[in-house]
Structure 1
Amino acid sequence: MIKVKTVSFKRTDYDLPRFMMDAVEKIADHFSVPRDKRYVTDFLMIFKRSKHWKAEKLKQDLEIWKNKFTRDYSDRVKLSKIIVDSFIQCKTKEEIDELRGALLEAVLIGAKGGFKGIDSRSEMSRGWGARVYLQKGAEGVKYNCTEHREANCSNRSTVDYGEWDSRHGQFYECKVSPEGIGCKEVRYMEFLKSQLESHEISHEIFFVCAESRLNVKVRLEEYKLSPLYKPLGREDISSMLA
């Protein structure tokens, strides 16, 4: 008898402020519908432009971005309102950067079908900020760091996004910038891969950033992750959404 392979996800990351959760849901559902290539390309530039936004100048920065993004495009007003309404609630630079990261995950969720069902405490075939469960295991995949190679090393037990179609799994780590890919993310993904391989589960592991694929690839090569771990850049995200 052929042993049935199973992978499921359960959301455990519930530390985002409510306004960020709302923004993720709205952006994910917005981009669950294919959009014009130019529309997508122009929107993705927000990750570059928002890099230097500061809380004390946020209203001005948002106004400049909105005017540029919506100029001559009335169909962009709805999306610009979601962005402005969410960012304007950030009180610190740390919150701005946290929202930027959440919006990148939202865009990926949108490309993968939208928000419905992704924010669930029950086990699902899609997951966001979710623990991965293999072969009905009770504990899920948890990486406990013992080496502490870098200052930011720590335990990790979730993927930013994952999905399972009953035969093949895809697992994603999202960082706005490739520099954000650090020891903690790398070691967890390496551990996850080892667990998937030990259960002979077909899979792919991706690192997604809002910069060029080349920049992501270079970062992965620094950690000797190529070619088993796949880079996805801004151009790939654009193709997924359009």
Structure 2
Amino acid sequence: MVKEKTVSFKRTDYDLPLFMMEAVKNIAEHFSIKRNKIYVTDFLQVFKRSKFWKVKNLEEDLKKWKLSFEASHKDRTILSDIIVDSFIQCTSKVEINQLRGALLEAILIGAKGGFKNIDTRDESKRGWGARVFLQKNKNGVIYNCTEHLENSCATRSTVDYGEWNGHHGQFFECKVSPESIGCKEVKYMQFLKSQLKSHEISHEIFFLCAESQFNIELKLEEHKLGPLFKPLGREDISRMLA
């Protein structure tokens, strides 16, 4: 008798401020509906522009972005208001960058069907900031770093996004810039892949960034990650959302 393959996810990352959680929900729901390609392409520019935003100039920067994004397209107000209302609540550059990362995850959640049943403390077939459980193992997949090659090296126990359809799993690491892909993320994903392979579970592992796919490929090559770890860039995000 063939043993049934099981994968589930349980959210453990609950460190986002409430205003960021609200932004993630709103963006995910907004992009759970397919959008015009030009609309998506124009919106994705927010990641490039927000890289340079600072708290002291935030109100003016948001005003300029909103005017540019809505130029000749007044039907974009709902989305631009979500962005403005969330960023204006940031009180530091750290929070601005944290929100940028959360919004990238929100877009992916939207492309994968929206926010429903993903922010749960129970095990489910979809996960966001979630620990991965294989074959009903009670502890889940946890990578304990012993090498400490970089100052940022640490224990890692979650994927940014994952889903299981009963036969095949997809697992995502999301970074606004590929330059932010570091040892901690790479080691965890390599360890996750080894666990999936040992259980003979069909899977794909992705690194998703808001830049060109080529830039992500270069970063993955730098970490000596072969073609089994797949880059997803702006082009792929546009394809998923439009």
TM-score w.r.t. the length of structure 1 is 1.00
Indicate the SS of the match to 2:15: coil
1:177 aligns with 2:209: no
| 3-state SS of 1:43 partner | helix
Secondary structure at 2:51 match in 1:
helix
User: Match of 1:52, as an amino acid?
Assistant: F
Separation of aligned partners in 2, 1:16 and 1:46: 20
Structure 2, gaps ≥5 residues long = none
Secondary structure of the residue aligned to 1:172 is strand
Q: Tell me the SS of whatever aligns to 1:29.
A: helix
Q: Give yes or no for the alignment of 1:70 onto 2:70.
A: yes
Please say if residues 213 and 233 of structure 1, whose CA atoms lie closer than 8 Å, have aligned partners that are also in contact.
yes
Q: How does 1:37-186 map to 2 (within 5 A)?
A: 37-186=37-186
For the pair 1:220 / 2:214, whether they are aligned, the reply is no
Q: Secondary structure at the match of 1:52?
A: coil
Instruction: Give, as a single letter, the amino acid of the residue that structure 2 aligns with 1:16.
Output: L
**RMSD across aligned positions (CA):** 0.4
- Aligned-residue sequence identity (percent) comes to 71
Deviations 1:51-95 (A, max 9, x none): 000000000000000000001111100000000000000000000
> Retained in 2: the 8 A contact 1:66–1:80?
yes
- Partner Cα separation in structure 2 for residue 234 and residue 140 of structure 1: 31
- Could you tell me the TM-score, scaled by structure 2's length? 1.00
Task: Report the number of matched residues.
Answer: 242
Indicate conservation of the 8 Å contact 1:217/1:226, yes or no: no
Q: Distance in 1 between matches of 2:118 and 2:65?
A: 30
Structure 1 Cα separation of the partners of residues 96 and 47 of structure 2: 11
Distance 1:185 1:113 in 2: 25
Partners of 1:226 and 1:107 in 2: how far apart? 26
Give structure 1 regions of 4+ aligned residues with deviation exceeding 2 angstroms.
none
Once the 2 structures are TM-superposed, how far is the Cα of residue 226 of structure 1 from its aligned partner? 2.2
**SS of corresponding position for 1:91:** coil
Q: Is the 8 A contact 1:111 1:241 kept in 2?
A: yes
Q: Which amino acid aligns with 2:176?
A: V
In the alignment, residue 178 of structure 2 is paired with which amino acid? Answer: P
